[in-house]
């Protein structure tokens, strides 16, 4: 069952989704060499609760933290802990919120200090592929049109698309139908209807597409240990043009302001 969201439900989803962006922007103020990933997690949880919401990931299927923090070859679902961020790292942070009964879910990959040019290009092009997918998320198109747009774009640069993990519907549950793969064939899959709310989230590897789950039962890393990037937006399917509910604006305002805080 795929739920078409009402106008009121979309506004509640927007509120939760925008809070994720603001939370990631707050976390971005502290991302620097020497900081522990658990420190970033605490900042996020405090900010979410101060804004009248609860962390959407904490306790979800037993996940222990507020953020998924995945560094370098870790693709997604990294558990915050004692790991220290270093100069040259890329740090994917996925965050969820639950407010007024509805979830927000968005992710951004941050470059820390002197990151190799080829890895910076991976980040840039992964984010661009997200918007290629969003462009296809319009009423009358099919799920495969989204995945095809992402896949065609990134494979043109020699990157690979993670197959084992996909985007998803979003609403009163963090993961709803439909699944939204980042690969596919044009014209395949379910037909998109106005009012569907989905999270589109390309996970793109600089090497091959194979991934491995670590012994912690959560962290997914690339099999070849090469870098991976991840960006995610929540969107509403509309006629003509998708409506993006989440935002990277606050994050990028922080990134353009070089002042880094200590916690």
pLDDT digits (tens, 9 = 90+) for 228-263: 999 999 999 999 999 999 999 999 999 998 666 666
pLDDT of 257: 85
Show the tokens assigned to 155: 């494979």
User: What does the H/E/C string look like for 57-110?
Assistant: CCCHHHCCCCEEEEECCEEECCCCCCCECCCCCEEEEEEEEEECCEEEEEEEEE
Cβ atoms of 148 and 184 closer than 8 Å: yes
CA pseudo-torsion sign 227, 132, 146, 232 = positive
Q: What is the mean pLDDT of residues 3-7?
A: 97
pLDDT of 17: 98
The domain 7-255 is classified under which CATH number: 3.40.50.2300, 3.40.50.720, 3.40.50.2020, 3.90.230.10? 3.90.230.10
Q: What is the mean pLDDT of residues 10-24?
A: 98
pLDDT of 259: 66
Which of 228, 5, 35 is CA-nearest to residue 125? 228
Q: Is the pLDDT of residue 10 over 70?
A: yes
pLDDT of 260: 62
Residues 6+ apart with CB under 8 A from 131: none
pTM over 0.75: yes
Cβ atoms of 82 and 38 closer than 8 Å: yes
pLDDT of 162: 98
pLDDT of 123: 98
The rounded distance, in Å, linking the Cα atoms of 263 and 258 is: 16
120-163 pLDDT, tens digit per residue, is 999 999 999 999 999 999 999 999 999 999 999 999 999 999 99
Task: Enumerate the domain spans of the chain.
Answer: 7-255
Average pLDDT over the chain reads: 97
Q: What angle do CA 83, 87, 90 make, to 5 degrees?
A: 70
Phi (first) and psi of residue 134, to 5 degrees: -60, -40
Residues 6+ apart with CB under 8 A from 244: 134, 233, 234, 235
55-103 pLDDT, tens digit per residue, is 999 999 999 999 999 999 999 999 999 999 999 999 999 999 999 999 9
Q: What is the mean pLDDT of residues 40-65?
A: 98
Phi (first) and psi of residue 213, to 5 degrees: -90, 130
Count helices and strands (H / E) in the chain.
5, 15
């Amino acid at each position: 069952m795929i739920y078409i969201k009402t106008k009121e439900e979309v506004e509640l989803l927007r509120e939760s989704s925008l809070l994720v962006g603001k939370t990631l922007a707050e976390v971005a103020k502290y991302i620097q060499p020497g900081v522990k990933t658990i420190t970033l997690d605490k900042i996020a949880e405090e900010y979410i609760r101060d804004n009248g919401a609860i962390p959407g990931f904490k306790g979800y299927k037993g996940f222990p933290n507020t953020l998924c923090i995945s560094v370098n070859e870790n693709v997604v679902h990294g558990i915050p802990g004692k790991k220290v961020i270093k100069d040259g790292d890329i740090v994917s942070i996925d965050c969820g919120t639950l407010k007024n009964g509805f979830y927000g879910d968005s992710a951004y990959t941050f470059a820390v200090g002197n990151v190799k040019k080829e890895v910076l290009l991976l980040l840039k092009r992964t984010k661009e592929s997200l918007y290629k997918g969003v462009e296809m998320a319009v009423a009358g198109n099919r799920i495969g049109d989204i995945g095809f747009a992402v896949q065609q774009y990134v494979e043109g640069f020699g990157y690979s698309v993670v197959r084992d993990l996909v985007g998803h519907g979003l609403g009163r549950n963090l993961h709803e139908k439909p699944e939204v793969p980042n690969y596919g064939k044009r014209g395949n899959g379910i037909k998109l209807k106005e009012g569907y709310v989905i999270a589109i989230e390309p996970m793109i590897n600089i090497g091959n597409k194979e991934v491995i789950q670590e012994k912690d039962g959560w962290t997914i890393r690339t099999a070849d240990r090469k870098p991976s990037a991840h960006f995610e937006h929540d969107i509403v399917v509309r006629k003509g043009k998708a409506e993006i509910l989440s935002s990277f604006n606050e994050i990028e305002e922080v990134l353009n302001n070089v002042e880094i805080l200590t916690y």
